[in-house]
């Protein structure tokens, strides 16, 4: 038997757990049928089942590395997707045009929603306590109301996209979670390109118009702009 | 070579990584994360995720990366997908590394769980 420091910590367990968490975010309600529909499981339950199986098999079969990698993969992935991942979004009343969303504050991506519906109610208060404690210690910044709304809006938009087809992304229904994400991403890229072009064009325009004034006047403008609050500048420039 | 399945580039890379690192590790043993060797082989914090020590996990990992990776790479785009993969391989490996070292330092034992 190898000692702990000689144990080989290997395997894609963490990556697999992380993928399952990502699917739970993208297509939570999709049902996967196994063994001729004898077993039907919704995607949102996969991460918990995967982690549970690895937790049981750890002490039972001595696959303790799988236990730790599974848990850490699950937690890393959820924390990243929940709090950190920056993703472009559709223009909404909440966020403005071309805004980015940090994390996913939607109610259905809460930690307690990884558990079966029956024990969710029991787990949710504990999760809330942990969250409140972390906020109190400034380990994480609390979600704003609008972030939660935006997250919920996205979650609904994904669900409305129709049923996903995990096994065959190229065929079947064209509109599902992943496709929706992809379309969203492309749209954001296009908006960004358009924005860059527009600002480049207006910068050009500004350079051309700023040449005519006399040197005295442009000096006056320069001093004015340093002393005046920035909010009043556009008005003044418009007058000039 | 005719590729029957359309696989996005990073996912293809990860599939090749599993096959390559698993094979090379059986021969050389320098791609799996081993707590008391990690300082010599720092890349193992990443490559270890693509090393399998048995056949069964390989049979799981390849389809998981093929279907799962392809789906996510298309949904998120290459850069976001790469970042995600980097985080969820390196961070769990670092944490496990810490757990196994602490265990060794605390117990010094060789018994399983």
Residue B1 lies in a domain: no
| Chain centroid, CA A2 distance in Å | 40
Q: Does A61 touch chain B (CB under 8 A)?
A: no
Domain that includes residue B67, residue range: 9-107
Domains: count for chain B = 1
Residue B3 lies in a domain: no
Residue-wise pLDDT for A63-100, tens only, equals: 888 899 999 999 999 999 998 888 776 544 444 555 67
CA dihedral for A109, A112, A116, A122, sign (positive or negative): negative
Flag if B113 and A64 touch (Cβ within 8 Å): yes
pLDDT at B60 over 70: yes
Residue A3 lies in a domain: no
Q: Are B18 and B62 in contact (CB under 8 A)?
A: yes
pLDDT at B64 over 50: yes
Mean pLDDT over each residue of chain B, to the nearest integer: 85
**Residue A32 pLDDT:** 85
Residue A26 lies in a domain: yes
Contacts of A76 in chain B (CB under 8 A): 87-88, 91-92, 95
**Residue A164 pLDDT:** 43
Residue-wise pLDDT for B11-45, tens only, equals: 999 999 999 898 888 888 888 888 888 888 888 89
Q: Does A11 touch chain B (CB under 8 A)?
A: yes
* Residue A216: pLDDT band with limits 50, 70, 90: very low
| Mean pLDDT comparison of A158-167, B27-36, B46-55, highest-scoring range | B46-55
**Residue A71 pLDDT:** 93
Flag if B34 and A8 touch (Cβ within 8 Å): yes
Residue A226 lies in a domain: no
- State how far the alpha carbon of A203 is from the alpha carbons of A200, A207, A209, A215, A233, in Å: 5, 6, 10, 20, 16
Contacts of B75 in chain A (CB under 8 A): 26, 177-179, 181-182
Q: Does A16 touch chain B (CB under 8 A)?
A: yes
Q: Does A111 touch chain B (CB under 8 A)?
A: no
* Structure ipTM: 0.89
**Residue A15 pLDDT:** 93
Domains: count for chain A = 1
* Tokens (6 digits) for A210: 């700023």
Lowest mean pLDDT among A185-189, B63-67, B107-111: B107-111
**Residue A199 pLDDT:** 87
**Residue A195 pLDDT:** 87
How large is the average pLDDT for residues A43-60?
Answer: 90
Residue-wise pLDDT for B84-96, tens only, equals: 999 999 999 999 9
**Residue B110 pLDDT:** 55
Lowest mean pLDDT among A106-115, A124-133, A193-202, A225-234: A225-234
**Residue B113 pLDDT:** 46
**Residue A62 pLDDT:** 78
- What is the pairing mode between strands A39-42 and A86-88? unpaired
Residue A240 lies in a domain: no
pLDDT at B69 over 70: yes
Residue A101 lies in a domain: yes
The minimal CB distance from B92 to the residues A2, A73, A170 is found for A73
How large is the average pLDDT for residues A29-37?
Answer: 83
**Residue A98 pLDDT:** 56
How far apart, in whole angstroms, are the C-alpha atoms of residue A178 and residue A169?
8
* Residue A229: pLDDT band with limits 50, 70, 90: very low
A/B interface, count of CB pairs below 8 Å: 152
Q: DSSP string of chain B?
A: ---SS---HHHHHHHHHHHHHHHHHHHH--SSB-TTTTTT-TTHHHHGGG--SSHHHHHHHHHIIIIIIHHHHHHH-HHHHHHHHHHHHHHHHHHHHHHHHHHHHHH------
Mean pLDDT over each residue of chain A, to the nearest integer: 75
**Residue B39 pLDDT:** 82
Which residues, in sequence order, are CB contacts of A219 under 8 Å at separation 6+? Answer: none
Flag if B61 and A2 touch (Cβ within 8 Å): no
**Residue A222 pLDDT:** 46
Domain that includes residue A117, residue range: 10-194
Q: How close A7 gets to chain B, by Cα (Å)?
A: 6
**Residue A234 pLDDT:** 45
Q: H-helix or E-strand containing A158?
A: helix A145-160
* Residue A172: pLDDT band with limits 50, 70, 90: very low
Residue A190 lies in a domain: yes
Lowest mean pLDDT among A18-27, A224-233, B103-112: A224-233
Residue B4 lies in a domain: no
In this prediction the pTM is 0.74
- For an interface test with B, which of A1, A13, A15, A56 has the most B Cβ atoms less than 10 Å from its Cβ? A15
Residue A202 lies in a domain: no
Contacts of A88 in chain B (CB under 8 A): none
């Amino acid at each position: 038997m190898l000692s702990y420091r000689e144990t080989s910590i290997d395997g894609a367990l963490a990556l697999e757990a992380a993928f399952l968490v990502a699917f739970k975010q993208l297509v939570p309600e999709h049902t996967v049928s196994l063994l001729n529909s004898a077993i039907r499981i919704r995607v949102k339950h996969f991460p918990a089942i995967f982690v549970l199986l690895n937790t049981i098999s750890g002490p039972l079969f001595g696959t303790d590395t799988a236990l730790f990698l599974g848990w850490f993969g699950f937690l890393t992935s959820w924390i990243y997707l929940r709090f950190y991942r920056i993703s472009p979004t559709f223009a909404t009343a909440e966020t403005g045009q071309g805004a980015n969303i940090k994390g996913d504050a939607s109610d259905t991506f809460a930690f307690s929603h990884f558990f079966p519906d029956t024990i969710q109610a029991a787990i949710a208060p504990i999760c809330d306590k942990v969250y409140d404690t972390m906020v109190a210690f400034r380990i994480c910044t609390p979600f704003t109301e609008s972030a939660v709304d935006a997250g919920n809006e996205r979650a609904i938009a994904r669900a409305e996209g129709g049923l996903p087809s995990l096994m065959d992304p190229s065929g079947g229904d064209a509109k599902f979670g992943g496709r929706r994400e992809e379309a969203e991403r492309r749209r954001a890229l296009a908006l960004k390109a358009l924005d860059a072009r527009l600002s480049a064009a207006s910068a050009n325009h500004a350079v051309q118009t700023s040449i005519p004034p006399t040197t005295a006047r442009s000096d006056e403008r320069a001093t004015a702009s340093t002393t005046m609050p920035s909010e009043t500048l556009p008005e003044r420039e418009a007058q000039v | 070579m005719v590729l029957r399945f359309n696989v996005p580039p990073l996912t293809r890379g990860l599939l090749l990584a599993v096959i390559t690192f698993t094979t090379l590790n059986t021969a050389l043993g320098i791609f799996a994360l081993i707590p008391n060797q990690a300082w010599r082989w720092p890349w193992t914090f990443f490559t270890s995720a693509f090393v399998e020590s048995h056949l069964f996990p390989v049979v799981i990992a390849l389809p998981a990366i093929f279907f799962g990776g392809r789906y996510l790479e298309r949904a998120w785009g290459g850069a976001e997908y790469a970042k995600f993969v980097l985080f969820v391989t390196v961070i769990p490996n670092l944490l496990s590394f810490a757990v196994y070292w602490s265990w060794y330092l605390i117990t010094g034992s060789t018994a399983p769980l």
